[in-house]
């Protein structure tokens, strides 16, 4: 997640269109990596699994989710 946010910041900061496209491509690769790690953690951490099942894809307002 930190890498995704880093690449978002860099893409937003540059005025060079070609560089922005490279940075956005790298950011999107990191999204896949993050998703794979999150799925591994979900499969191996019952508490995280419960939290994700409650929160992900919910139609509730974000402020109404969690504690």
Which is more confidently placed, 64 or 37? 37
Instruction: Please state, as a whole number, how many other Cβ atoms lie within 10 Å of the Cβ of residue 23.
Output: 20
Domain boundaries, the chain: 2-64
| pLDDT on residue 14 | 98
Task: Judge contact between 19 and 13, C-beta under 8 A.
Answer: no
| pLDDT on residue 67 | 74
Mind listing the pLDDT tens digit for each residue in 2-19?
A: 999 999 999 999 999 999
Mind listing the pLDDT tens digit for each residue in 31-58?
A: 999 999 999 999 999 999 999 999 999 9
């Amino acid at each position: 997640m930190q890498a995704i946010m880093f690449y978002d910041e860099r893409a937003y900061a540059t005025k060079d269109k070609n560089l922005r496209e490279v940075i956005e491509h790298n950011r999107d690769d990191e999204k896949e990596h993050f998703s794979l790690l999150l799925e591994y953690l979900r499969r191996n951490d019952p508490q995280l699994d419960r939290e994700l099942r409650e929160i992900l894809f919910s139609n509730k307002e974000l402020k109404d989710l969690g504690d």
